[in-house]
Structure 1
Amino acid sequence: MNKTLFHRAGELEEASCPFALVTILKTSGSASRNQGSMLVEGSKAITATIGGGALEAFAIEAAHKAIARRQEDYAVSFTVDQEAKKKAGEVILFIQVIQSDASSPFFTVASEWEQRGIPFVFGFSLEKESSRFLYSSTQKSLGTSREALLLHAKQSLEEGFDKRVEVSGKEYFLTIPIPLTNLLLVGGGHVNQAIANLARTLGYGYQVVETRAEFATDELFAHAKKRVVGRTITEGLKKISINRFTYTVVASHTFDQDALEYLIATPTPYIGILGSKLKARMLFERLTVPPSQKRRVFCPIGLDIGTETPSEIALSTLAQIMKEKNGRSGKDLRDFAKDLVVVRGGGDLATGVIKRLFNAGLPVVVLETEKPTVIRTTVSFAQAMFEGETRVEDVVGRRCRDVDEALGVLQSGMVPLLADPQGVFLEKLKPLCIVDAILAKRNLGTTMADAPLVIALGPGFKAGKDCHVVIETKRGHSMGRIIREGEALANTGIPGIIAGFGRERVIHSPDEGVFSSDRKIGDLVKKDEVIAYVGKSPVRAPLEGMIRGLLNNGLTVPTGFKIADIDPRGLKADFTTVSDKAMAIGGSVLEVFDNFLARR
């Protein structure tokens, strides 16, 4: 078996041999990988990979020189050149030179956790202080006792992704070396044996449940974290650990309705059942759970790639699990952008549309202004225009320089944003559908000729003249209605009522000038408390509550411009998830697009 990075690091540490760790911090444009780490020894021998090719050769040489010079930790940039295009992408690498010391085991501990299948965070400082630490899912830590840092590490394990964090003015990078994805194999027959073997190569741990001891042996499942034999499948399942990273594959003739209902009640996001279409119909007819719960059940199992043998079914099943886990479409990369949707605008309502389309497996590119004036910045992809990258719930938006970089970001499973308020990039993008989600209350130039399908949100558009479809955005009985002839209801200028407050909760600029604030969304404020300034004019909270919207600092605004809003519900306010209104409007857009695809 090939050694893992931490296994080899532990060996070098015990031998007091220096080595370097190379980690991908960030990529833009075209890059073979978006994350990963490799170990480089003084002899240039490597363990693990960051993608091979010219990037890896560059990293090996840089790391080798750093080891020889005993260089401090540092970041370095690599430019990706392709035959068709120079500077097609950029990869930022972070190189750490490790002066091993067997008397202070660090990587040895990480290797032990890895071998025992204990998920952990490997964190390191991005400063020049060579600070590293470990934090495990069993709440053990090594290298730091700082509560704020350990809290970030715990959150990273719960969320399941790498991230950069700032603590006391210093930046740290947190990585999760062991995939959190794990499999629950119900049944020990040929298919699940093949899945177990393939899962091992992907780094996925697995547990096995059987009713027959001879099909749950160490010989058949040598690397299982746990093997359980029960009188019934349900009895066995009750002895298994299941979390939101556990993907379940059922290949057992004794699997029954009770076992399915037990699994439905757990956090497992995927329940794949080996069986015919007839079996699938019978299972679904008996299920008495909401449709949202049924969507987690896949029967028949796998992708349609013409499978016959257990190994082929295993490949098809794990491909489907990866598709679901990563929120991808499963389409050929060759045809990836064929059904491209361009959304003009990235504010909070537009973000609901973007998220619904993205979660449906559709490629989405967002066109925004250079400095969007959104106030609900925690739930707006537009915030990426200021920060370079932003996360809304479980979807990442990243600002891009050009169309080529945007298409690369799309393939990486993120939402790309381009600074293009005039729609100059539309000619090169050639989208199948355009959604005008600028919500300017008037048409800023969108026409029906811009794409085969043009959808507009809210007032200011006439279906059949400016666009093919208008979506009603006004709260009430008609919200989300699909309008194929005519216009949306006129804007009343009255915000939605929350806890009895409407106009009062929305704050407008008292003067013209540059906006500035030392407060942040989520802060609780008292009535008449100063929360910001426009120029030298103070901006006061009109009521007690939580700041739910706040303009970005440094923007110049005219008098009367919307700059903030206060939610009177205080601690009960939700500022981290997309609103029901945005998701409802997004659902209407998705319905229109699905209908268009079906009729093409």
Structure 2
Amino acid sequence: MNIFSEAAKLEDQNRPFALAQIVGSRGSTPRHSAQMLIRDDGSIIGTIGGGMVERKVIEEALEALREKAPRMFHGRMARTGSDAVGSDCGGAMTVYISVHGLRPRLVLVGGGHVNRAIAQGAAGLGFDIIVADVYEESLRPDLFPPTTRLLHAETFSAAIDRLAICPEDFVLIATHNQDREALEKLIERPVAWLGLLASRRKVQVFIRQLREKGVAEEHIARLRAPVGYNIGAETPNEIAISVLAEILQVKNRASGGLMTAAQPRQQLRVVIRGAGDIATGVALRLWHAGFKVFMLEVEKPTVIRCSVAFAQAIFDGETTVEGVMARRVDSVSEAVRTVENGVIPVLIDPTGETLGELKPTGVVDAILAKENFGTHSGMAPAVIALGPGFSAGDDCHAVVETNRGHWLGKVIYQGKAQENTGVPGSIMGHTSRRVIRAPGAGVMQSRVRLGDIVSEGDIIATVGDAEIKAPLSGMVRGLLNDGLVVNSGFKIGDIDPRGADADYTTVSDKARAIGGGVLEALMTLTHRGVKAKEAVLTVA
């Protein structure tokens, strides 16, 4: 069998294989010039001489396929010493092992207009494309690129079973009216990326139904929905560009955002003290603007809006908010590697001990404790604090107003923010009533989940032996993590009276406004710093 014809066939099938080629030899070796193809099951075509050295090359090739990266193999025909392969020929051989047939697979569940446009766009991006549908007329070959594999089945569940979904697959659900069936079939399967083309309202309903069926939060968190970048897309081709951009961002482990915004600030690190829902809104603003964002938290954060707080990564290992992932890390070196891959690292460091190693351009105190826990202007060239408890010009360079109203998000460069009112924001006329507090000290245990719709009087949690009842009807938008010890009067939950119309999966308008203020302050302060340095250089 010809090596190159077999390689072409495997490449067409997108079946992994390796090519081993002798690129150097000296002394007595079985071959001085040869090639060998190694399939992913260990079978071979051709030979580089047989014996122990060939066995070693096959082992190295299989390892290279697992790592999806080429490698160079050096072998000495000896029984002892470095690079020895266990033979007595006395020579040495260098073999280059390249890997092939590793195109990422894009699985499109549904053959409608949008998925057809996505298939056409993905064809030139190196994806192995397969489309599944229950309607044969949606799978006409002329609607898709020539290399697309088309799968027809009686149901989407049957189609997904036949697809043999792998952890490396990118999967998009976009059916006519059977999204939920496909989603329930796929939500617990590990994949590189799982997207759902649906409206925000539909996504909320589906997520609530998944929770009611007992699907774990770690599986739900992997779902990307609504999917794609917000570029105002309306036509199938525009939506395809939006979706493919997100897929490529995940595939290439890129941070995303506009090149014009990200490039000038590529090297600017910002450390945010705290990772609650407001801090997360700030982090998203800065991350999208191209900053490298690091977050510091306590060992047991007491956030209640867990679905929109990167602090949840402390409990779950990683979490995703509005398509941006955060991951718990245990060292500065791991944090730096994580941020370079487009993921926000969250470190347990309540006192900021890691700032000396991180050397950030900016520090943002987003603890929102209404008092200063050690933040000072010497921490970084730009130190910004949120809300009361700080004085711009004294312990920080800028303060951002956090009180709702006309001045929310205002940047203060001299002085303080407004004092805390102690009154939560009004939703449909409800303020303090919608906030749930512990009646006494004890361990928190929830009875409902975020996103659940409850009626007034429903039991939503216990603290110690006390049952906590919903003070009004609506959606559970905030809820403390189970197992945390709380004191009497501690905030443990939040009910949104808008019910099903509420959105617990996105950051609040308040968080976005404050995040905008932080971004403005960082841009202003760093610009001032650049101008000051230029002035010093000019005088010198």
Listed as ranges, the gaps of 5+ residues in structure 1 are 12-37, 58-109, 121-128, 183-236, 248-266, 271-317
Aligned 1:164-563 pairs, distance under 5 A: 241-246=236-241, 326-327=256-257, 338-563=267-492
Q: For residue 7 of structure 1, what is the aligned residue in structure 2?
A: 13
Structure 2 CA distance for aligned equivalents of residues 543 and 428 of structure 1: 48
One-letter amino acid of the counterpart of residue 148, structure 1? E
Q: Deviations over 1:258-296 (max 9, x none)?
A: xxxxxxxxx9979xxxxxxxxxxxxxxxxxxxxxxxxxx
Report if the CA contact (8 A) 2:402-2:409 is conserved. Answer: yes
Structure 2 CA distance for aligned equivalents of residues 151 and 446 of structure 1: 42
1:149 aligns with one of 177, 181, 185: 185
Structure 2 CA distance for aligned equivalents of residues 357 and 548 of structure 1: 24
Structure 1 CA distance for aligned equivalents of residues 220 and 488 of structure 2: 42
User: CA, structure 1 residues 424+329, in 2 after alignment: closer, same or farther (shift >3 Å)?
Assistant: farther
Structure 2 CA distance for aligned equivalents of residues 473 and 175 of structure 1: 31
Q: Deviations over 1:93-139 (max 9, x none)?
A: xxxxxxxxxxxxxxxxx87659634699xxxxxxxx99944877675
Listed as ranges, the gaps of 5+ residues in structure 2 are 1-6, 18-37, 44-57, 75-127, 132-144, 152-160, 199-209, 531-540
User: CA, structure 1 residues 146+577, in 2 after alignment: closer, same or farther (shift >3 Å)?
Assistant: closer
Report if the CA contact (8 A) 2:173-2:183 is conserved. Answer: no
Q: Deviations over 1:506-558 (max 9, x none)?
A: 01100101000131111111112111000111111111111100000000001
Report if the CA contact (8 A) 2:447-2:462 is conserved. Answer: no
One-letter amino acid of the counterpart of residue 327, structure 1? G
1:52 aligns with one of 51, 54, 69: 69
Displacement of 1:39: 7.6
Structure 2 CA distance for aligned equivalents of residues 586 and 119 of structure 1: 45
- Report the RMSD for the aligned CA atoms in angstroms: 4.6
Structure 1 CA distance for aligned equivalents of residues 353 and 431 of structure 2: 38
Displacement of 1:326: 3.1
Displacement of 1:574: 1.0
User: CA, structure 1 residues 394+133, in 2 after alignment: closer, same or farther (shift >3 Å)?
Assistant: closer
Q: For residue 117 of structure 2, what is the aligned residue in structure 1?
A: none
Displacement of 1:440: 0.1
One-letter amino acid of the counterpart of residue 116, structure 1? T
Structure 1 CA distance for aligned equivalents of residues 470 and 298 of structure 2: 28
Q: Which of the two has higher C-alpha Rg?
A: 2
Structure 2 CA distance for aligned equivalents of residues 551 and 175 of structure 1: 21
User: CA, structure 1 residues 9+429, in 2 after alignment: closer, same or farther (shift >3 Å)?
Assistant: same
Structure 2 CA distance for aligned equivalents of residues 532 and 521 of structure 1: 12
TM-score by length of 2: 0.61
One-letter amino acid of the counterpart of residue 441, structure 2? E
Please give the secondary structure, in 2, of the residue aligned with 1:488.
Answer: coil
Aligned 1:95-110 pairs, distance under 5 A: none
Q: For residue 158 of structure 1, what is the aligned residue in structure 2?
A: 196
One-letter amino acid of the counterpart of residue 157, structure 1? G
Structure 1 CA distance for aligned equivalents of residues 376 and 413 of structure 2: 15
Report if the CA contact (8 A) 1:50-1:56 is conserved. Answer: no
Structure 2 CA distance for aligned equivalents of residues 56 and 537 of structure 1: 66
Q: Deviations over 1:392-443 (max 9, x none)?
A: 0110000001000000000110100000001110111111110000000000
User: CA, structure 1 residues 115+424, in 2 after alignment: closer, same or farther (shift >3 Å)?
Assistant: farther
Q: For residue 210 of structure 1, what is the aligned residue in structure 2?
A: none
Structure 2 CA distance for aligned equivalents of residues 422 and 325 of structure 1: 28
One-letter amino acid of the counterpart of residue 147, structure 2? R
Q: Deviations over 1:153-192 (max 9, x none)?
A: 89923379xxxx998779989999xxx999xxxxxxxxxx
Count of aligned pairs between the two proteins: 380
Structure 2 CA distance for aligned equivalents of residues 400 and 149 of structure 1: 31
Displacement of 1:51: 4.6
Q: Deviations over 1:537-591 (max 9, x none)?
A: 1111111111100000000001000000101111111101111110111011111
Q: For residue 147 of structure 2, what is the aligned residue in structure 1?
A: 116
